[in-house]
């Protein structure tokens, strides 16, 4: 629905090894009343407590089956059950998600109060929600892996109030119907006249878009069609640019490569995540990315929240 808030919580921004200040990978996106988790590393539920987000999770999306991206799920589902959850919880991921859910249920050794529903996704798969979708795309991590793009539907064009009144539409419920794309009937010069939305509304306005890469080589090294012009690109930046060769060997990216990806994709803002435990500062990461990307560059600390506004 138009006007919904879109908030991104960086609950875990560490690389494979956590640090005292960074948890394993977990990004929460809240869109209106929906709450989605993208990866769920160890300790994710404690991060949710610290961020005061609550536990109303509608879906979990896993990028790949390295443990630092999914070990938080067993503890989280136990907590949800203890809290009395009854609604099913879908867990989306690449091939292997059914095995993962089976293992999660077996090691818990308790009967959950809700269904944990595995759903296999492949590049191009789209999960529809009210007013937006989450699409999987291919990533390069030396194993089966996918990233995700949350893409809102287009919003109606800007409503021309004065034009509507001039056509005989009085302020009130008819305005709302036109804004929702419905034609309305008014009386003009003693006759019934139909007024259509295209007479009142400007061209459709783009929805917001957030990309989460997961662990990967730079996105622009592969197909990028459909990922352009994101409001926020959350990209692997495990290393700074002094470790360029190492990044290639282990199928990760440097901050500079993330900057190149952001520039190639024409993103508005770049967030650098999956920071290796060898770094106590991200100053070099920000500098490396900034040399290749002119937009805003963030290296968010854990528990940072970023709100995505509409672009007019």
CB atoms within 10 A of CB 227: 24
CA distances (Å), 140 to each of 104, 145, 146, 159, 219, in order? Answer: 26, 7, 8, 43, 8
Q: Is 235 among the annotated ligand-binding positions?
A: no
Q: Is 274 among the annotated ligand-binding positions?
A: yes
Q: Is 115 among the annotated ligand-binding positions?
A: no
Strand-pairing partners, residue 129, are 132
- Kind plus residue range of the DSSP H or E element containing 206: none
Q: Is 69 among the annotated ligand-binding positions?
A: yes
What are 63's two structure tokens? Answer: 């990028």
How many angstroms from the chain centroid is the CA of residue 8?
7
Q: Is 64 among the annotated ligand-binding positions?
A: yes
CB 234 within 8 A of CB 211: yes
Contacts 24+ apart (CB under 8 A), 83-87: 83/55, 84/113, 85/55, 85/113, 85/114, 86/113, 86/114, 87/114
Contacts of 212 (CB under 8 A, 6+ apart): 27, 38, 39, 63, 147, 148, 149, 150, 234
Q: Is 220 among the annotated ligand-binding positions?
A: no
Q: Is 99 among the annotated ligand-binding positions?
A: no
Burial 127-149 (b: 16+ CB within 10 A, else e): bebebbebbbbbbbbeeebbbbb
Per the annotation, the verdict on 240 as an active-site residue is: no
Among 39, 68, 236, 240, which one carries the catalytic annotation? 68
- For 237, which DSSP code? -
Binding-site residues from annotation for Zn(2+): 64, 66, 68-69, 141, 215, 274
Active-site residue set: 68
Binding-site residues from annotation: 64, 66, 68-69, 141, 215, 274
């Amino acid at each position: 629905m138009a006007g919904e808030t879109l908030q991104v919580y960086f609950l875990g921004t560490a690389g494979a090894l956590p640090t005292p200040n960074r948890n394993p990978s977990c990004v929460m996106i809240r869109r209106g009343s929906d709450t989605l988790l993208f990866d769920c590393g160890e300790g994710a539920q404690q991060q949710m407590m610290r961020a005061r987000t609550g536990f109303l999770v509608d879906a979990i999306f896993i990028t790949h089956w390295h443990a630092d991206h999914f070990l938080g799920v067993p503890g989280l589902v136990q907590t949800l059950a203890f809290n009395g959850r009854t609604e099913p919880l879908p867990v989306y991921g690449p091939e292997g998600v059914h095995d993962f859910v089976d293992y999660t249920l077996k090691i818990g050794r308790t009967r959950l109060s809700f269904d944990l529903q595995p759903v296999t996704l492949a590049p191009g798969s789209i999960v529809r929600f009210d007013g937006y979708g989450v699409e999987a795309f291919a990533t390069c991590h030396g194993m089966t892996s996918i990233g995700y793009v949350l893409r809102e539907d287009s919003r109606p064009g800007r409503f021309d109030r004065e034009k509507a009144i001039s056509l005989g539409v009085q302020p009130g419920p008819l305005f709302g119907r036109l804004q929702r794309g419905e034609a309305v009937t008014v009386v003009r010069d003693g006759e019934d006249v139909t007024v259509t939305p295209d007479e009142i509304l400007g061209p459709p306005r783009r929805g917001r878009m957030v990309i989460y890469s997961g662990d990967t080589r730079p996105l622009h090294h592969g197909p990028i069609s459909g990922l352009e012009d994101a409001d926020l690109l959350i990209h692997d930046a495990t290393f700074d640019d002094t470790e360029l060769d190492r990044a290639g060997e282990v199928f990760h990216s440097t901050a500079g490569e993330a900057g190149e990806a952001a520039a190639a994709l024409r993103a508005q803002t770049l967030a650098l995540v999956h920071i290796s435990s060898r770094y106590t500062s991200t100053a070099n990461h920000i500098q490396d990315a900034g040399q290749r990307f002119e937009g805003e560059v963030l290296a968010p600390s854990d528990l940072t929240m970023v709100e995505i506004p509409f672009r007019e």
